[in-house]
Amino acid sequence: MKFNFSLDVAIALTLVTIFLFTSGQIYLNGYLGYFLVDPIALNFSVQDKIYLGFLRGINQLLYLCSACLIMFFLRYIFVYFDLAKKLDAKLLSYLPKNEPNPNQILKIHNSQRYDQLDQTFSVVVLNSLLVLALLWGTIQAFVYIENNSKDIAQKVMKNIDILPKITVKGQNDLTNKYLLKCGSALCAVIDEKKNVSLVEPKNIVYLNSNFAEKPERKALKG
């Protein structure tokens, strides 16, 4: 089995980046969607989504990488010990043998390629199963990230004091306000009456009471 190191590394980095970006997007959709806020309105950058994806999906990424290594090792053993040919021969033994005279068969141009595919049928099936297994694992990882983000949003809704307390410049409303999430364009803010609004980041003021971290705030890091 031959490898092109530069190409393999480029493909691996691309797949990891796509996974982290998608994880960050799914987390934002699950978390902010619970408060009926569209993440597109806050205008998160690609870097922000990749960073959030790293924080929220690094465990799932490590699980998938471990599964890839295990599957690659099993495939290597399957091919190295020539188990594919043995399995193909076993399967063909159950089929009725009605082979025509080779001299009476018309040879198709470049037909050896088709013969090789028939001889490695088990390898093709194994590769297909491994790809499907990885796709299923990736989907399950995304489902877990979305469910986890919704659980965090539910904890916030039950006790909004775990959020950073803020004030908004130009507003005389004395209602306590808390910051849900900030993007490049707007910030999502919720008050003590559970009303959600969007304000510009330059108008957000963090109160000094936030710097004494509360134990309950650890729920946002879970």
Burial of 63 (0-12, 13-18, 19+ CB in 10 A): middle
Residue in the structure block whose two tokens are 């039950």: 158
Q: Provide the greatest CA pair distance for the chain.
A: 96
DSSP 64: H
Cα-to-chain-centroid distance, residue 115: 39
pLDDT category of residue 21 using cuts at 50, 70 and 90 = very high
DSSP 159: -
Q: Give pLDDT tens digits for 66-79.
A: 888 888 787 777 76
CATH number of the domain at 160-221, out of 2.30.30, 2.60.40, 1.20.1440, 1.10.357?
Answer: 2.30.30
Is-contact 71 134, C-beta < 8 A?
yes
DSSP β-ladder status, 187-191 and 196-199: antiparallel
Domains of the chain: which residue ranges?
5-149, 160-221
The structure's pTM equals 0.75
Separation between Cα atoms, residue 75 and residue 93, nearest integer Å: 24
Q: Which of 38-42, 79-83, 91-95, 153-157 has the lowest mean pLDDT?
A: 91-95
Percent of the chain clearing pLDDT 70 (strictly above): 72
Q: Give pLDDT tens digits for 158-183.
A: 998 889 999 988 877 788 899 999 99
Separation between Cα atoms, residue 166 and residue 97, nearest integer Å: 80
Q: How far is CA 35 from CA 72, 105, 190, in A?
A: 42, 69, 9
Is-contact 155 92, C-beta < 8 A?
no
Is-contact 60 23, C-beta < 8 A?
yes
Residue 114 has a pLDDT of 47
Indicate the residue type of 122: S
